[in-house]
Copies of this chain bind each other. A is one copy, B any other.
Amino acid sequence: SPLIKLAVIPGDGIGPEVVAEAVKVLEAATSADDVTFDATWFSLGAARFLETGDVLTDDDLAAIAGHDAILLGAVGGVPGDPRLANANIERGLLLKLRFSLDHYVNLRPSVLYHGVPSPLASPGTVDFVVVREGTEGPYVGNGGAIRQGTAHEVANEVSVNTAFGVERVVRYAFAQAQGRPRRHLTLVHKTNVLVFAGSLWQRIVTAVAAEYPEVTVDYLHVDAATIFLVSNPSRFDVIVTDNLFGDILTDLAAAISGGIGLAASGNINPEGRFPSMFEPVHGSAPDIAGKQLADPTAAILSVALLLEHFGLTDAAARVTAAVTADIVARAALDIPRSTSAVGDAIVTRLTDKGIQ
């Protein structure tokens, strides 16, 4: 039976707790399938940095790259910890993995599940996916400063956008749109200000759109997109956007669809030349770590994206169905459940046909 080598990076804070549940669910969801996941656990993140001074060594990277996929919990230490002042675990670990492993698609679905409270008074149906570019834009790290620390300091940040990089993620987004019932794609950018990058994105979307006559296309400036996300989120089906706009929009999208406790993401290298990485959108939340208070749902939904990525569509659908049913059941609970109780409840739904 096919073996999928999984690199598991629990990370910091609540990362290990939510990843433990995600792995339980992964096993339960695929126990009847002709596939085996073989997990290798990597100790990376702020804790590891404090111990060894390393964030991600070349050896770490090579070892991880030898796997078929990555499941990541969350990384990052306690905010303000002076020992981490110059570490930037996010850049050195999370972004380094995304860039080194060419995760050019950052896939972030937003679904407001039945029974989940939204901060919006009348959210309507929320069911869209953001296809965020993952290897370009203002995230490339091509910034610099002169006269640092003086009154004459100039600090620049460069957003780099290539036809190659934009086209491949735009194609991915159109393919997603084509496969969804509404077949609608919205490009989000700021073409009236970022005229060079904006023009590139706009031209490529227009060109690829010609190959997808069934997909309707529109455009929104990023500022206007935030308005629609709170006033009429139902208008969105697939959003394609750059790395920074995608970062901002997906946090907002998570907020309106029940919070980042539910938001899953995939950092995908679609051709499979490198392992794709699946992670909840939330951070390490050190304040509640180790107390079994974290909601593992986002990590578990990231497992569904992982299964989808390997074409294990049925298993993915089972996970989503079990989570959806659990979310409905939550509304009736009197007291909050522990992290592992949530995982157990979802595992029970997956294995006990009677209950599911």
Contacts and interface: CB of A to CB of B under 8 A. Distances in A.
B192 A88 contact: yes
A19 B95 CA distance: 47
Interface string A68-97: 000000000000000000001011000100
Contact of A120 (B91, B120, B192, B247): B120
A227 B252 contact: yes
A100 interface: no
A95 B194 CA distance: 12
Given A143-B194, A197-B143, A230-B230, A159 B157 contact: yes
Contacts of A194: 138, 143, 157
Interface in A216-231: 222-224, 226-227, 230-231
Interface in A99-123: 118-122
Interface string A252-263: 101110011000
A256 to B, nearest CB: 6
Nearest to A281: B223
- Copies of this protein in the assembly total 2
Contact of A231 (B119, B147, B148): B119
Q: Which of A156, A199, A224, A254 has the most CB of B within 10 A?
A: A156
Interface of A: 88, 90-91, 95, 118-122, 138-139, 141, 143-145, 147-164, 167, 190, 192-197, 199-200, 203, 222-224, 226-227, 230-231, 244, 247-248, 250-252, 254-256, 259-260
Given A155-B162, A227-B255, 9 more contacts: A120-B230, A153-B200, A154-B161, A155-B199, A158-B158, A223-B251, A224-B251, A226-B248, A227-B260
